[in-house]
Chain A
Amino acid sequence: MQILKCHIGVGPAVTGEALVADDNFSARYDLDRIKGVFSRPQHKLAGQSYRDKILVLNTAKGGVATAWMLYEMQSRGITPKAILFNNANTILVQGAAMADMAMCDRFIDGDVTTLIKT
């Protein structure tokens, strides 16, 4: 087992299957939150289910809606188990804190989207 170290995060300890892409993330821009899939055609995970996965992505993009959306997604149980970023933004962290979802970033070994495979 390989251990990767990162900055202090938020949320509980979780175990799960990784879904990795060198791409960015916004719940509003990229997801069909009812079906639980990436819906934005240009996203590298387009068409893939994120439910119960540990998403591994580069950074956050776009707007503030994701903060409420993670909480709403968590209430319906159609949500990733965790999201790992190279660099999170404030919205994603605020949303994870609200939803009690595991999230962390700033991995000291380098680009987390290459350190972890799907």
Chain B
Amino acid sequence: MNLTDEEKAMHDGAMGPVQQWAIDHQIKVGRFFDAIDMVPVSQAHMMADPESFGDAGVAFMEDMVTAGAAVTIPMITDPRGVDLNHYRPLGQTETMADLERRFIAACEAMGIMMTNTCVNYQTIMPPVLGDHVAYGDTGVVIYSNSVCGARSNFEGGPSALAAGLTGRTPRYGLHLDENRQATKRFKVTVQPADLTDWGVLGAVIGRMAGSYWEVPVIEGISHAPTSDQLKHFGAAMASYGSTPLFHLVGITPEAPNLAAVGGDHLSATEIGDADIASLRSQFGRKGDKVDVVVFAAPQLSIVEMEQVARLMDGQRMAVPVIVCTSPQTFGDAKRMGFVSRIESSGGTVLEGTCFYNQYAREIGEANGWVRLLSNSAKIVNILGGYGYQPALASMADCVAAAAAGEIV
């Protein structure tokens, strides 16, 4: 790789062991992906939940602090694995909470802002067209690339940290124009309506795209979706396909028309009712019992919080309902009374976490939760590997099922 004098000094250790580790990590990754050089980034966003990093990750972070680590650009965090205000009732242990506390302390010592959100593009500082960033969380990356026109690869926790420390990232993948052109063309013949429909469509396209290196371009969407709809669409696509970028013709900024992303040279695959029904059929049916209902993945916006509160008003839930939102939205939702309305119907609102990265296996076992219902196409994809039998329904049907104890 072509390194600047400053980057060479980092690599030689002249700027200390922290910068040396960070740039060395970035060079290893950059060589793998044929990066020619590094590109400055304006923000870093780190995924780090205790189930993922464990004792080893905390020890690594604490060693970095001891060595003098400090971030050089604005750096924020993805949802935590433990809501420190509400973990014992979920069956989470002090050991889990202590890991979380130690990790938070290490992050704060480095100057990382504990935003604890996977919807920073709705709540913190959305990136802009052409903005190079180093974001973790696949849902954040796909939304930022596709809807905002920013440029980020999936940056796992260690790589996002390295970017926060050096202020740059290897220039490969989606930082390059040529990798943002469409490689697969889809023509949609159904119009998604609610958030779950958008998630299912994203899941179908992600599964068909099938690789990090494919860029779907999608025609046939007749109206501009909302941010929440695109949030579910992208998060599901990234979950099923490891896909980091899509283009919606006439809607997303890099695809004012098909030709702008090279889609006119591709043959189109139609996606219709049968494809949607096929995916949905894998996740539950009417009459199935429900142990827990979860609204998460991605964290709920203030608009979704209001919708859930309104649907639950005046009802008593027969099974637990878990709602995960960002700390930013939580504050507003509390002030506006949405949190108390959800709680008075028997729901629980968690702040700064997301259900699937909260030791999902352990809290499932602790509470006897197996049959999990959600409106998130992303979360039902993930939780099969955690011992759950996940089912999918719209937000309204999820609330109705929670009140009835079975899918209605």
Chain A interfacial positions (CB closer than 8 Å to B): 7-10, 24, 28-31, 39-42, 59-69, 71-72, 74-76, 87-91, 93-95, 97-98
Contact = CB atoms under 8 A, between A and B. Distances in A.
Q: On chain B, which size bracket covers the interface?
A: 35 or more
Interface in B23-57: 25, 28-29, 31-33, 47-49, 51-57
Nearest to B135: A64
Given A59-B210, A64-B47, A71-B57, A93 B32 contact: yes
B158 to A, nearest CB: 4
A63 B387 CA distance: 18
A80 to B, nearest CB: 16
Contact of A63 (B51, B138, B173): B138
29 contacts: A10-B31, A29-B384, A61-B242, A62-B138, A62-B242, A62-B381, A62-B382, A63-B239, A63-B382, A64-B137, A64-B155, A65-B47, A65-B52, A67-B156, A67-B158, A68-B54, A68-B156, A72-B52, A72-B54, A76-B56, A87-B212, A90-B153, A90-B159, A91-B156, A93-B29, A93-B32, A93-B33, A97-B28, A98-B158
Contacts of B212: 59-60, 87, 89-90
B383 to A, nearest CB: 9
B127 interface: no
A29 B381 contact: yes
B144 interface: no
B347 interface: no
B106 to A, nearest CB: 14
B136 interface: yes
Nearest to A89: B212
A75 B56 contact: yes
B146 interface: no
B60 A90 contact: no
Given A7-B32, A90-B156, A94-B156, A72 B56 contact: yes
Contacts of A28: 52, 382, 385
A18 B316 CA distance: 53
A97 B161 CA distance: 14
Contacts of B382: 28-29, 62-63
Contact of A64 (B138, B240, B241): B138
Contacts of A75: 54-56
A68 to B, nearest CB: 4
Contacts of B173: 90
A82 B52 CA distance: 19
A114 B294 CA distance: 40
Interface string B183-215: 000000000000000000000000000111100
B116 interface: no
Contacts of B138: 62-64
Contacts of B54: 68, 72, 75-76
Interface of B is mostly: helix
Nearest to A46: B385
Contacts of A69: 52
Contact of A89 (B49, B52, B56, B154): B154
A114 B385 CA distance: 26
Interface string B331-358: 0000000000000000000000000010
A13 to B, nearest CB: 15
A97 B239 contact: no
Contacts of B239: 62-63
Contact of A71 (B60, B210, B213, B240): B60
Interface in B232-269: 238-242
A84 B33 CA distance: 15
A24 B157 CA distance: 21
A29 B238 CA distance: 13
Contacts of B56: 71-72, 74-76
Interface centre among B49, B156, B357 (most CB of A within 10 A): B156
A29 B47 CA distance: 16
Contacts of A29: 381-382, 384-385
B157 A67 contact: yes
Contact of A87 (B28, B31, B213): B213
A93 B242 CA distance: 14
Given A64-B47, A72-B52, A94 B31 contact: no
Interface centre among A64, A67, A72, A89 (most CB of B within 10 A): A64
Contacts of A64: 47, 136-138, 154-157
Interface string B348-391: 00000000010000000000000000000000011011010000
